[in-house]
């Protein structure tokens, strides 16, 4: 009960020392943005290298079925983008959402959330490919970014709209607008978006609630 009250009052999220803190650079978020931008620029400077990296890093369920080591693509696909608009859209959302989520959860949990959402988004995309019989290569950080959006929605709900002064209505509207933009555009992997969003919400809950419960039990065990 005490932990839930702390979460709802906005003073606690994900364990000791991981509450919302403003004024510090979000290190992991900034590093991920720089890495994505750096890979994109490298592909522009050396087109041959860019095509090779994309061919080796893109994702499709076909690679999981026919490549023994194809599982690495579940993560690498999140670091390649089709064009500058694709990159800018994802990086803007990554920084805006990642800044808040990283400050709330802390660096390690933020990274687990980010890469976990990327993997889950691509897995749902793979399931969609199998169900429809349509196979295609997919790239982009959208699954991971939607995971951050889902986690942010969870944090806003638990903090009663107090997470970074974002109201629940604004958070829900941002999620709806992002999904709508995807469904209204061609060549967009909406399955990865939905998979990332749902997994981000669930992982946001797990990473925020389970560790403090474990720590509480550990302390009780030490007392005995």
Given CA atoms 202, 185, 46, 95 in this order, what sign does their dihedral have? Answer: negative
pTM: 0.81
pLDDT greater than 60 at residue 218: no
pLDDT score, position 7: 42
The domains found in the chain, sorted by start residue, are: 2-9+21-223 (1.20.1540.10)
pLDDT greater than 60 at residue 16: no
| Residue numbers annotated as active site | 142, 193
Mean pLDDT of 46-70: 86
pLDDT score, position 62: 85
User: What are the φ/ψ torsions at residue 137 (nearest 5 degrees)?
Assistant: -80, 140
Can you tell me the distance from the alpha carbon of 29 to that of 218, in angstroms, rounded to the nearest whole number?
A: 31
Yes or no: say if 87 and 37 are a contact pair by the CB < 8 Å rule: yes
> For the segment 117-158, what is each residue's pLDDT rounded down to a tens digit?
999 999 999 898 888 888 888 899 999 999 999 999 998 888
Can you tell me the distance from the alpha carbon of 55 to that of 50, in angstroms, rounded to the nearest whole number?
A: 9
User: What does 35-95 look like in DSSP terms, one character per residue?
Assistant: HHHHHHHHHHHSHHHHHHHHHHH-B-HHHHHH-TTGGGHHHHGGG--SSHHHHHHHHHHHH
């Amino acid at each position: 009960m005490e932990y839930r009250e702390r979460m709802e009052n906005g003073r606690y999220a994900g364990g000791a020392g991981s509450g919302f803190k403003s004024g510090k650079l979000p290190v992991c978020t900034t590093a991920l943005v720089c890495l994505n931008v750096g890979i994109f620029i490298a592909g522009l400077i050396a087109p041959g290298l860019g095509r090779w990296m994309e061919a080796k890093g893109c994702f499709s369920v076909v690679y999981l079925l026919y490549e023994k080591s194809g599982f690495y693509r579940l993560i690498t696909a999140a670091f390649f983008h089709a064009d500058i608009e694709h990159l800018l859209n994802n990086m803007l959302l990554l920084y805006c959402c990642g800044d808040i989520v990283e400050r709330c959860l802390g660096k390690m949990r933020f990274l687990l959330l980010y890469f976990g959402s990327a993997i889950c988004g691509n897995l749902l995309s793979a399931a969609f490919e199998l169900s429809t019989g349509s196979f295609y290569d997919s790239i982009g950080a959208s699954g991971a970014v939607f995971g951050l959006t889902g986690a942010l929605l969870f944090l806003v709900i638990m903090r009663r709209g107090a997470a970074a002064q974002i109201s629940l209505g604004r958070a829900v509207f941002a999620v709806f607008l992002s999904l709508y933009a995807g469904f209204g555009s061609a060549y967009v992997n909406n399955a990865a978006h939905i998979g990332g969003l749902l997994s981000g919400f669930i992982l946001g809950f797990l990473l925020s609630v389970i560790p403090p419960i474990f720590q509480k039990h550990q302390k009780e065990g030490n007392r005995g």
